[in-house]
Every structure is written in structure tokens, then in C-alpha cells.
Structure 1
Amino acid sequence: MTRPSWAPDGIDLDRPSASRVYDYFVGGMHNFEIDRQLAQQIEAFTPNVAETMRANRDLLRRCVRFLVDAGISQFLDIGSGIPTVGNVHEVAQGRDPSARVVYVDIDPVAVAHSRAILGADPDTAVIQADISDPKAILADPEVAKLIDFDQPVAVLLLGVLHFVSAEADPLGCVAGLRDAVAPGSFLAITHATSDGQPAEVLEAQKLSGRTSTEIVLRSKAEITEYFDGWSLVEPGLVHLPLWRPDNPDDIGAHPEQSGAYGGVARKH
């Protein structure tokens, strides 16, 4: 197939990418036929999967607004994916023009396109790095240029930790990030779960093994461990639509069908 201008050389166009599958589900335009085919197979098992992905993006926007209103002006968004409308810097700078954002993703397609979108914005940057190596993220010069770790910072891990295997020690990775930030900082997490999910959802999860980033479903108790020592803000760790909805009508009759939990915690 013809390689589009936004896809850098070296990207395998014949293997689906988790970030491009996600981009497809949230209505983005930066995905290939191989990604759409896998997305459609997943959707055949779980017809509400696109709604789940959009619920995650909606929570991101609500979360960023909450954090800016709480006094946060610097954001480290790890696992940021391919930019779509309503990204962190758009929402944050719309409320606080001085807000600074560093996007972090392991996918070179996501990183390359992010750089094209961000252009010359001096208050944003994007780096290619892996959540499983938090020391490399924290030591990156682009991060050091924009993020002052002596001041409160929001660490966003929205929809990324379920791509980290047990062997990669996700608890240790998150602990390294928690330890690096100042008191008054916030940690936001959304994570896919097996809790209460029907058999077809669990079967669809197996399809993720065809990408380079298999999804690992975890329980509410397991996800809660990521916030160890921090105070969860209301309403705690809940299904995505239940986290500070803009309107009660947005929750729907079955918020558990989002198949994921979301929560925000503060460091004392």
C-alpha cells in the first residue's frame, strides 16, 4: 500500500497497531486497513467497544478540566497515542494558557504525527518512550525543559497500563513516577477490567495479542494498588462514565459496560 506522509519510514504497514486501532475507534483518520480489520473483528465480539474508547477520551477531557481547576499547570501524558480533537494541551490551555504538556508514547507513528500536530508550540513536546522505563521518561531533556518536578504535576496514565505485562512490573513503573513528583501532584489512571465482563469481552481481549501490545485486564483491587499512598478524589475508582460526569444523563443505564475503571488521586 502507499505510505501516507504522516507515517514515518520503518513502520510495518502489514501489522495492526494498538494506537491506530484506538484512533479508528475514536473517529480518527490515522489508521490503515489492517487496523480497521482488527478493530472490526474486536467490534464483532464487543459492539460497544467504540463507545468505551470514546468514554475514555471523554473522561480525559473532564479530568484535565478538573486538574486545571485544582491548580495544575503541567501535565505528563504517558501513552498519549495519536492526537485527536480535544487533546490534553487543547483542553488545558483553553482553561490556562500557560499550561505545559509533554506527551509520551512508545509508538513511532503516534509520536511522529504528534510532532507534526504540535508544530512550534513552545509549551508542548512529545517524546518516544516506554512506560515500562520511567527513569528514561523522567530523564528526557524535553521533559526537563517543560516539567518542573519541584512543583505539582499531573501524571496521566489513561488507557496505557493495561498494555503493560506483569513481567514489566507495572506497579513498580507507577511507583517510580509517584516518587518523582512533588506533594500536591495528581495521578490519573484509566484501565480495562475483567470485572463483570461477559465472556465475549474476554474473548475479544485475546485478539489484542495480534498487535505488539496485548491488553491485560485487571481487577478493581489490582488497579487500586497503583494509587498506593495517595488519596483518591471523589468519586474514587469507578467505571468511566461515573467519574465526574458533566451531566447525569451521560452516565447511561449500564456504566459497567464501559469495561474500564477510572480514578484520580492526589499526593500529600
Structure 2
Amino acid sequence: MTDQGFSADFIDTSVPHSARMYDWFLDGKDHYAADVAAAKNVMTLMPGVKDTARSNREFMHRATRYLGHAGITQFLDIGTGIPTEPNLHQIAQRITPNARVVYADNDPIVLRHAEALLLGTPEGRTAYIHADIRSPEVVLSYAQDHLDFSQPIGLSLVALMQFVTDDQGPYEIVKRLLDPLVPGSYLMLSHVTWEFDPEIWERVDTIYRAGGTPVKARSHDEVTRFFDGLELCDPGVILSTHWHPDDEIRVREEQPLYVGVARKS
């Protein structure tokens, strides 16, 4: 079963967008000249940024499998990005065919391609809302129509919170998203860090800010703070390539990306 919420806004192809830049980093096809130019500027500063993006995606795959094997059959994925197979619902539904997934993103081009996010198993359910994490109540209201909030949910915030600046209350937003989730729910989160090369991040931020989406890299302690009040799963908040590596991992070199999974008790 599928469902889609809201309508697409006008896509301004003259301005780079973080989701379309991420698509380019992943060698996708849904981006425009402005996105490519901005992404190449980032790659000049961070030559390994494509591997960072791939490592982030691989973490999402492993973390989803981890939660699926832990019994999670419902997911709320915010900051979904342009569909890139396998998507979260495909991984979850391989483990549990009737798994339910709600996706949310604020890029109109993601909405344009949302049909790719809605092709799940006949037994499962996928839904999509065009919304922004800075309006968590909107996302939660929609998700409550499609997920059973009396049962555990896996909240996925993968490569998202770096686009919520300190003045926008990132920790408060995550808390508001977690508050209605019952014990036994999980948070899976990844976040870029400046700790590998502090000097470049101001220039990276300038590139993203030109597209209207500032980027805020954070330290290990700052990323760990997103998990306050939760039980961190082993091995804790760690570099992406060290989090439960398996035979499917392609990027093995350390990346400036902290990841973690934690359980609400």
C-alpha cells in the first residue's frame, strides 16, 4: 500500500540543493548544473566526499538491517533524499515483508520521484510527505496516520542534522521527534564532523549556504549529544566505517562521519 502527501513546489534549477548535490556524490542522475558546480566545489575542498556519501549510505543499509533483525517493523525516515536503490523500505521489507515506512523530505525533486519510494511489498506500506524537519509536528502528524505509534518505530536521521544549525534548535527537534515514540523505539543517525580537517568547513558551509542550506559539521561530543537519554547500541558513536562492518561494505577507509544507533528505554 502506498500514500503520498502534499504537492511539489517549483524546482529552482539555478540554485544548488543539498539533496541533489548528494545525488551527484552518489553518481545519480537527478541533479542540475548548479548542483554539479557546487558539488565539485565541495570536492575540491574534500576530495574524498564521494566516499563519504557512499559510506553514509552504507551505514543506512547496515543500520536498517540491524533494526530489522532487532524486531523493528516501522520506520520514519526524515531527510530521505532522492531515491537510490536499495532504499530503506526495500531493506526493511526484505526482513519483514509487512514493514511500514514513512519518508519525509523538503526537496521538491524528491517528491517528483517519490513513486520510486512507494513501490514496496504488497504486504507492507510506504508513504511520503513533502515536509521539513524544522516542522517536526507536521511530520509526526502525517506519520501517525500511517504508523502505529503504540508500537516501536525506527527514527532515521541520516546525514540530516548537519543541515540544522545551532540557532534552529537541532537537539530540541530530535527530542520532539523522539518524545511520542514508545520505549523499544530506536534512533539511527549519521553526521559529518570537522574533526578531520577543521579549516575547510567554513568554506564548505559557504558553498551550501549559497543554495540556502547552511551546513554545520559537529564534534564527536556534539554528535553524541543527539543520543542523550537513549541507550547507545554497541559500539556507540563511532566513525561510519567502524560501525558493524560486513561483507557488503565498499568504503573501508575512515570518513569524517560519525554514526550511531540507540534504543529508547
Give the secondary-structure state (helix, strand or coil) at the position aligned to 1:191: strand
Give the secondary-structure state (helix, strand or coil) at the position aligned to 2:29: coil
The Cα of 1:200 is off from its aligned counterpart by 3.6
Give me the TM-score of the superposition, normalised by structure 1. 0.90
Do 2:100 and 2:147's aligned partners in 1 also have CA atoms closer than 8 Å?
Answer: yes
Corresponding residue to 1:265 among 253, 262, 265? 262
Corresponding residue to 2:136 among 134, 137, 155? 134
Structure 1 outlier segments of 4+, above 6 Å: none
In structure 2, the partner of 1:245 is: 245
Do 1:18 and 1:212's aligned partners in 2 also have CA atoms closer than 8 Å?
Answer: no
- Structure 1: unaligned runs, 5 residues or longer: 1-7
Do 2:90 and 2:120's aligned partners in 1 also have CA atoms closer than 8 Å?
Answer: no
The Cα of 1:144 is off from its aligned counterpart by 2.3
In structure 1, the partner of 2:114 is: 114
User: Compared with structure 1, are the counterparts of its residues 260 and 25 closer, same or farther at alpha carbon in structure 2 (3 Å cutoff)?
Assistant: same
In structure 2, the partner of 1:69 is: 69
Do 2:52 and 2:256's aligned partners in 1 also have CA atoms closer than 8 Å?
Answer: yes
Percent identity reads: 37
Q: d(CA) in 2 for partners of 1:263 and 1:206?
A: 27
Q: d(CA) in 1 for partners of 2:118 and 2:180?
A: 26
Q: Cα deviations across residues 122-178 of structure 1 (Å, max 9, x unaligned)?
A: 6001101111121111112xx223211110000000000000011210111000111
User: Compared with structure 1, are the counterparts of its residues 248 and 36 closer, same or farther at alpha carbon in structure 2 (3 Å cutoff)?
Assistant: closer
Give the secondary-structure state (helix, strand or coil) at the position aligned to 1:180: coil
Matched, 1:206 2:203: no
In structure 1, the partner of 2:127 is: 125
Do 2:16 and 2:35's aligned partners in 1 also have CA atoms closer than 8 Å?
Answer: yes
The Cα of 1:111 is off from its aligned counterpart by 1.9
User: Compared with structure 1, are the counterparts of its residues 71 and 33 closer, same or farther at alpha carbon in structure 2 (3 Å cutoff)?
Assistant: same
The Cα of 1:62 is off from its aligned counterpart by 0.3
Larger deviation, residues 95-104 vs 204-213:
204-213
Give the secondary-structure state (helix, strand or coil) at the position aligned to 2:258: strand
Within a 5 Å distance, the mapping from 1:106-255 to structure 2 comes to: 106-115=106-115, 117-118=117-118, 123-140=125-142, 143-197=143-197, 199-200=199-200, 202-247=202-247, 252=252, 254-255=253-254
Look up the equivalent residue of 2:259 and give its one-letter code: G
Look up the equivalent residue of 1:110 and give its one-letter code: V
Q: d(CA) in 2 for partners of 1:42 and 1:137?
A: 30
Q: d(CA) in 2 for partners of 1:119 and 1:267?
A: 30
Q: Which has the higher helix share?
A: 1
Look up the equivalent residue of 1:185 and give its one-letter code: S
User: Compared with structure 1, are the counterparts of its residues 249 and 27 closer, same or farther at alpha carbon in structure 2 (3 Å cutoff)?
Assistant: closer
Q: d(CA) in 2 for partners of 1:53 and 1:93?
A: 24
Do 2:55 and 2:251's aligned partners in 1 also have CA atoms closer than 8 Å?
Answer: no
User: Compared with structure 1, are the counterparts of its residues 70 and 249 closer, same or farther at alpha carbon in structure 2 (3 Å cutoff)?
Assistant: closer
Larger deviation, residues 203-212 vs 123-132:
203-212
Q: Cα deviations across residues 11-48 of structure 1 (Å, max 9, x unaligned)?
A: 11111111100011112111111111111111111110
Look up the equivalent residue of 1:137 and give its one-letter code: V
Q: Count how many residue pairs are aligned between Structure 1 and Structure 2.
A: 256
Give me the TM-score of the superposition, normalised by structure 2. 0.91
Q: d(CA) in 1 for partners of 2:168 and 2:257?
A: 21
Within a 5 Å distance, the mapping from 1:14-93 to structure 2 comes to: 14-93=14-93
Do 2:149 and 2:180's aligned partners in 1 also have CA atoms closer than 8 Å?
Answer: yes
RMSD over aligned Cα atoms: 1.9
- Structure 2: unaligned runs, 5 residues or longer: 1-7
Q: d(CA) in 2 for partners of 1:266 and 1:50?
A: 30
The Cα of 1:112 is off from its aligned counterpart by 2.2
The Cα of 1:196 is off from its aligned counterpart by 2.7
The Cα of 1:78 is off from its aligned counterpart by 0.4
